[in-house]
Amino acid sequence: MAEVHVIGQIMGATGFSESSLFCKWGVHTGAAWKLLSGIREGQTQVDTPQVGDMAYWSHPIDLHFATKGLQGWPRLHLQVWSQDSFGRCQLAGYGFCYVPSSPGTHQLACPTWRPLGSWREQLARAFVGGGPQLLHGDTIYSGADRYRLHTAAGGTVHLEIGLLLRHFDRYGVEC
């Protein structure tokens, strides 16, 4: 019966080589969690920074969960995409982070990566756009045999998340 409010925003991203960026995001929870209100997933607008390196989205996240257990604490997965001058979109990075578990405001920086692919694909990416993507998106957080994957580092996504917890103490969880 404990409740968790996740209120915050996806501030933006830094360190990407591409310029026009947007982000698809989603929140994944375990079976014990129930979404009371809010939207689980979404997509930000495209931001092309004119000044500086950081792309700002300031995309709000407002979720209210009820949970009957601690398993499956909500986690955020992110996909940063870039849009080129033709309006085409391509993947710029996958990212994943847990929603913090202590109440209060948290500044999160979620580093991202993207699969590198074969040299042919790299070449194609450099010249005609597009790029290798994961077939199964859940690899982003399952992390099974990921050491086998050749990846390149993307930039960092910055999040600012405030957390409100309720009734956890009632079940012996100190926070």
Partner 1 sequence: ENNMANTLRGKVREKFKNAKITQGEKSLTQHIDKVCQCSKTKVSSEEGLSFFILTGEEGSALDQSSEQKSVNDSYSKHSSLGANLQNVAESQDENFMEKVIFTDLLEVKAAEYEDDQEQIKKQQANIFVPSSSPVDSQNKLPKGMIPRILEDEGFYIQRKPEIYKKTCNKMENRLLKLEEGKCWFEESGELISLPTPIKESWSSLLNISRESLNPALKTTYRKAVKYDLGSSFREKMENQREVYQLDLNIVGLQFSHHHLFNQEQVLCARLLQLYEYFQDRQQQNLPQLLYEKLKALTNATKLANENSEINQLTRKSLQDYYWQISNTKQLYDLEREKDFSLLRSIIRTWKQIKSLRQWQGFTSTPIKLQVQRNKYAQEQEQMSEISQTEKKTKGKALNEENQEKLSYLGAEFEEIEIERIKPITLMPQLSFTAELTNLSKCSLHEQKRRAKIQKLKYFIKIFYNDKQVSRTSVSSLQCDFKVMFQQIFNMQLLYWPETICLKVYEVSKSTSLLAKLYLPLPNYTELKGKTVLEYAEFGSEKPVTPKDGEVRSNVPFILEGSGTEELCLLTSGKLSYSLSWALDENGIPLTPLSQPSRSAYCSVLRNVNARGVPGIPWLINAQKLFEWSNEVRIDPNNPEYSDLMEFIMYMRHKEQVIPKYFRLEQLQDEFNFVSEEEMKKSKRFQLLQLRNAGQLDIFLLQQMPAYDREIPDSVFQESESQIEKDVSLSDVNSITAQRINSANFLKKMRRLIMKRIAKISKFNLSDIVNDYEEIASTSQLTDAICKFVEPQRKLKPQRKERKKVTAQTVSDGDLKILIRIVRAYNIPTRKTIVNRVLDMPNSLMSPISCLRQKDTIQSAASDEILNEDAVHPFVEVSFQHTIYQTNTTSGSHPCWNEEIKVDFISPGHDYSFSNLSKIKDYIYINIFDEMMIEKHEVHCLKSCSGHSYVRKNWLGSIIFPFSALLQQSEISGTFQVNIPPVLLGYTWSKTYISSKEDYNWQNLKECTFLNIFATIEPQISYVTYNPKPDKFSDQIDVLQRAQIFKKNCKAMFPNRRIITTVFNDEGKQILVTRYIKALNPPRQLLDMLLHDSSATLDIISRFVSLIPFMPDTLDENDGFDIWLTSERCISLAIGNKEEHAILLCNFFLYLGKKAFVLLGTSVLEGPVAYVLTQETDEYLLWNPSTGQHHKQFDPFCPLQSVDCLFDDRNVWFNIQQNNIRMAVHFDYSKESFWKQLLPNNFQETAQSIQPEEITYTDTNKSMVEDLKNRIERTLKCKMMEWRPQQPTRWNRQCSSSLRQILPKLEVGIGSFASDEKESEFERLLQLYWVVGFPIQMPYTDLQSVIDAVYQTGIHSSEFPQTEFALAVYIHSYPSNILSVWVYLASLTQYK
Verify binding: residue 97, partner 1, rule CB under 8 A: no
Verify binding: residue 7, partner 1, rule CB under 8 A: no
Could you tell me which residues are beta bridge partners of residue 166? Answer: 3
Q: Are 31 and 66 in contact (CB under 8 A)?
A: no
**Closest listed residue to residue 140, CA positions, set 63, 98, 78, 55:** 78
Could you tell me which residues are beta bridge partners of residue 4? Answer: 65, 165
Verify binding: residue 138, partner 1, rule CB under 8 A: yes
CB closer to partner 1, 78 vs 161: 78
Judged by CB under 8 A, the stretch of 9-17, 49-57, 105-113, 130-138 that binds partner 1 is: 130-138
According to CB under 8 A, which one of 7, 89, 109, 152 is a site residue for partner 1?
Answer: 89
16 CB-side CA count, 13 A: 34
Verify binding: residue 67, partner 1, rule CB under 8 A: yes
Verify binding: residue 32, partner 1, rule CB under 8 A: yes
